[in-house]
Chains A and B, each alone.
Chain A
Amino acid sequence: MATMVTSTKPATKTSPGGGPKIPGPNGNGSKRHDGFRDPESQGNRYRIGMWVGLASVAMMFTSLSSAYIVRSASSNDWTPLPMPRMLLVSTALILGSSFTLETARRKLKAGLSALYKRWLVVTVVLGLAFLTAQLVAWRQLARQGIYLASNPHSSFFYLMTGAHGVHLIGGLLGLLFLWLRWRRPEREQSDATFIVKRKAATDAVTIYWHFMDALWIYLFLLLFLWR
């Protein structure tokens, strides 16, 4: 291990901060030398920010899951719900939406702007259909007299599907944001920074959407296999 002694003797190995002549490793990955940021690094921040944000979303669902597992084992009042059939439909819908959004992202990467827009719209429609299917599933349960406070499993069911739905609405807002971006005037759309940023924003929304998809699969399995 390196010693921690303050010394003025020259070291045998040059550490990263030590070289006076070399500017040293880059901070932010900006390759420019004129003190301005390059567009690529501005785009990266969308992707980094999204992954960081998803870490916190994952922690919230981790806390709910651990509560779910502890609660299911802590007493004998746990009554598993019958699975509303509609959930199979909603699972298919959200899987499909992930597929269409990924297609849109690849079309943009290939420079096919018109197809990108079309697949985005399809994704929005599928996202809305998923939310509708979730609401129908809620209605199906409510018709059987199963509400939020009926028993612990139903409490967790409504809570987790609700929390997931709220997060998915966030994803829809992200899609709306992308849609607003392509409505900017032509002059702006051909700008290099704008193009990089649009790609990065599309990447970020896609990452989020795939995460919501995987999260739903996870919740679905947790709610109807662990009970």
Chain B
Amino acid sequence: MSEAHEGVHRHPAPTGFIRKYIFSLDHKVIGIQYIMLALAAVVVGMLMSLLMRLKLSWPDHHWAILEFLFPTGAPGGVMGPEFYLSLVTMHGTIMVFFVLTTAPQGGFGNYFLPIQIGAEDMAFPVLNMMSFWVTFVGFIVILLAIFVEGNHALGEWFGVHLGNSFAGGSGTVGPIGGWTGYAPLSALGKIAGPGQGGGMNLWVISIAIFCVGSLLGALNFITTLLNMRTKGMSLMRMPLTCWAWFTTAVLALLSFPVLLGGGILLLLDRVAGTSFFIPGGLYVSGVLSGSNPNFPLHTGGSPILWQHLFWFFGHPEVYIAILPGMGATSHILATFARKPVFGYRAMVFAIFAIGLLGFFVWGHHMFISGMSPYSAIAFSVLTLSIGVPSAVKTFNWIGTLWGGRIRFTTAMLFAIGFVSLFVAGGITGLILGQSSLDLPMHDTYIVPAHFHLVMGVASIFGMFAATYFWFPKMFGRFMNESIGRIHFWLTFIGVYAIFVPMHVMGLQGMPRRYSQFTEYEFLATLHPLVIFVSVAAIITITVQILFYFNVFWSMFKGKKAGENPWEATTLEWNTTSPPPHDNFAGVLPTVYHGPYEFAVPGAPRDFVMQTDVDVEVPSGNGHNGHKH
């Protein structure tokens, strides 16, 4: 038990395949598992968005393959409105939970946080393994939700074996409540119509499982960062990535339990006959509450309560998705601009300010719920104040680039793309955050346009940047830069082509979540634009094949990379590529410098690694600038 005599690592390197790659305790393997989970989930989510675009552009076209796959959801190969709504729901749920929450934090955070602070592993390796496998079970359950709702035979099997509350088989691809699952319809069960049966139960259960997995992960991240930093790694010497992952973990730790609580209440409403969210006197599908054994009596519940609980989680969740991208962007911009991060301290405080304010603005999702105008003003002001730390970050990114000797690698291109998308998507946040402007714009296309740019695509760009940047460390080989550049430019142009026109549609009053617009005269002129967006989406989705090819091809055939191929400064570049089981081959490194000491006057190279002993760094250099 006394590891001081055996070396730094508490668990020995595994030898068998299962302990090495499946039930591994190694944070690096677990990180890759998270990334692989996200890579699988994003395919499902993307295919669903493809189907949505097909329906929106060519609503009456007969797709023979759909008739074969979904005989009830798409009779004759034409997708029904419920089918479309279930696509919206599952696309949102899978993307937000299993892509935007897993890859940035569970994936890259797991892999690089311990190495960047000079630790041999996470604080609790067994907990780390459990958090991945719990999340994985959550993913399996959400896939089951698709099949239970979508397939009559499976739905009926669930009905026979697990009771009627589990029976579904309504011909959709999962529940239709949206990723927000608004009560009361989401709380009623099968009576509420197609897509509200067993699949919806599984949806709630999957999210509850996901909450538990995220909580275990967040606990581990926070403890690791507080307890396991190596000698000399003071808080203000940590890379900004670590600050971002730490803040994200705090957000997850405090917001997921609230969703878990709400989810338990929702599930009880659905299966145990309680009335937390179900008001009295509901008349649904031609049945009055209490007049029919399928629809027991409910009184007095509050649907708005669900919205409060959901958005108290839901708003921090968007920062959970994007903060790791911000961290990675700061890190990569400094490395390839060969300059210290501009205003390191301000960046740290901005991350914290964004995280903190994120807890007090959930009401801006509920301006049309009938809330008091005074509350709305309070939520508006707090929401707009997030613009301040966001602007600090943006200007500091630009300041980091300013006058740098920029190396335009693919990782750098994606990091710059992140800044661009963050600004383009964030700017509409200032518009939507004002209650008076939100009232007419709510539930129009400007909302999906806003959050897809800023929370969806920007976060994904952060992850693309992280992938191209850290791939050499993770697999000892470079990704192909030529394919990478093509991938960047086509994706960058593609996402703007998809989401900029959506702003126009939103301002014209096109409502979101409708499956078909051809019936509305005032939207008829927009149909060419809808088709343009769909074509752009199809091209952009197809381009991602390049990325997948590049990842898996480069793993085995890419150009070999050394220890520090990018001439970077932080600890992960101080060990072999890929790092050994205990990260630093026996002895933990000692840190002497800040994380971004590039272009240090008088230094032998244009970068000073955090472990370099014999280099003088003037205390005014870079982020350590602390003048009065």
Contact = CB atoms under 8 A, between A and B. Distances in A.
Contact of A8 (B299, B615, B621): B621
B238 to A, nearest CB: 9
B620 A16 contact: no
B312 interface: yes
Interface string B585-602: 011111111100000010
A87 interface: no
B598 to A, nearest CB: 10
B265 interface: yes
A134 B222 CA distance: 34
A75 B340 CA distance: 58
B624 A18 contact: yes
Interface residues of A, number: 70
A44 interface: yes
B261 A18 contact: no
Given A4-B346, A70-B305, A63 B229 contact: no
A48 B1 contact: no
A49 interface: yes
A64 B312 CA distance: 13
A131 B264 CA distance: 21
Given A2-B626, A17-B593, A59-B257, A48 B232 contact: no
A92 interface: no
Contacts of B229: 26-28
B254 interface: yes
B594 A77 contact: no
A170 interface: no
Interface string B283-313: 0000000000000100111100100110010
B99 interface: no
B228 A28 contact: yes
A20 B617 contact: yes
In the complex, which of the residues B124, B264, B586, B616 has the most CB atoms of chain A within 10 Å of its own CB atom? B264
B258 A60 contact: yes
Interface string A1-23: 01111111111111111111001
Interface in A85-127: none
A51 B230 CA distance: 22
B8 A13 contact: no
- Looking at chain B's contact residues, the main secondary structure is loop
A132 interface: no
A55 interface: yes
B231 interface: yes
Given A44-B227, A45-B228, A56 B254 contact: yes
A154 to B, nearest CB: 9
B593 A20 contact: yes
A78 B300 contact: yes
A12 B588 CA distance: 33
B588 A35 contact: yes
Interface in B1-41: 1-4, 7-8
Contact of B234 (A7, A27, A62, A77): A27
B274 A149 contact: yes
Contacts of A15: 236, 619, 624-626
Given A49-B223, A78-B300, A25 B272 contact: no
A20 B491 CA distance: 43
B355 interface: no
Interface string B149-190: 000000000000000000000000000000000000000000
A35 to B, nearest CB: 4
Contact of A16 (B237, B615, B625): B237
Interface string A160-193: 0001000000000000000000000000100111
A148 B231 CA distance: 54
Contacts of B253: 52, 55-56, 59
B226 interface: yes
Nearest to A65: B261
Contacts of B450: none
B83 interface: no
Interface string A119-145: 000000000000000000000000000
Contact of A28 (B3, B230, B586, B617): B230
Contact of A11 (B232, B586, B616, B624): B624
Top 3 A-B residue pairs of the complex, sorted by shortest distance between their CB atoms:
A27-B229, A18-B619, A75-B300
Given A2-B627, A13-B627, 17 more contacts: A4-B345, A15-B619, A16-B236, A18-B618, A23-B592, A27-B231, A36-B588, A45-B228, A49-B124, A56-B254, A59-B255, A60-B261, A66-B308, A67-B309, A76-B300, A188-B1, A192-B2
10 contacts: A2-B625, A6-B622, A13-B619, A25-B234, A45-B124, A45-B223, A56-B254, A67-B261, A70-B302, A152-B275
